[in-house]
Amino acid sequence: ETGVTQSPTHLIKTRGQQVTLRCSSQSGHNTVSWYQQALGQGPQFIFQYYREEENGRGNFPPRFSGLQFPNYSSELNVNALELDDSALYLCASSRLSGNTIYFGEGSWLTVV
C-alpha cells in the first residue's frame, strides 16, 4: 500500500457533464501529480501541485483543472466531458526533494 487514496474508484458520466476526482496524499508528502491513462496506453502527465500552486502542466486543455488543499490533498476537475476523457485517472504523491512518486489505486471514469 502506498498511502495514497483516491475517490471515487469508478464512475460513469454523460458527455458534457463535469466531474471531480479526489486524492489524499501519503503522510509527509507535499506534492501531488495527476495522470491520465487511457486503455492500452501509458500514463500521461496532466499537472502537478506543490504547496497549493500548480507546478507544471502537461498537454491537456484548460477544462482540466485542479486544486491542492492545505493538508496536501488534491482534486482534479474536468469540465465539458468528452468521450475521449474515459480513462483511469491516477494521483501520485511525493515530496518535492527528489523522492519517488507513489500512485494511488486510481479512479476509473467512463464517459457515455
Partner 1 sequence: GENVEQHPSTLSVQEGDSAVIKCTYSDSASNYFPWYKQELGKRPQLIIDIRSNVGEKKDQRIAVTLNKTAKHFSLHITETQPEDSAVYFCAASINRDDKIIFGKGTRLHILP
Q: Which residues bind partner 1 (CB under 8 A)?
A: 2, 31, 33, 40-45, 48, 56, 58, 90, 94-106
Q: Which is nearer to partner 1, 17 or 99 (CB)?
A: 99
Handedness of CA 85, 90, 91, 96 (dihedral sign): negative
Least distance in Å: CB of 8 to partner 1?
15
- Closer Cβ to partner 1, 15 or 52, answer by number: 52
d(C-alpha 40, C-alpha 74), whole Å: 26
The backbone torsions φ and ψ at residue 83, rounded to the nearest 5 degrees and listed phi first, read -60, -35
- Minimum distance, C-beta of residue 62 to partner 1, in the bound complex (Å): 18
In the bound complex, what is the minimum distance in angstroms from residue 35's beta carbon to partner 1?
Answer: 8
For residue 98, CA distances in Å to 39, 45, 80, 95 come to: 29, 17, 35, 7
For partner 1, the closer CB: 1 or 70: 1
Q: Closer CB to partner 1, residue 12 or residue 80?
A: 12
Half-sphere exposure of 64 (CA within 13 A, CB side): 18
The C-alpha cell that represents 14 in the structure block: 454523460
State the nearest-atom distance from the C-beta of 96 to partner 1, in Å: 6
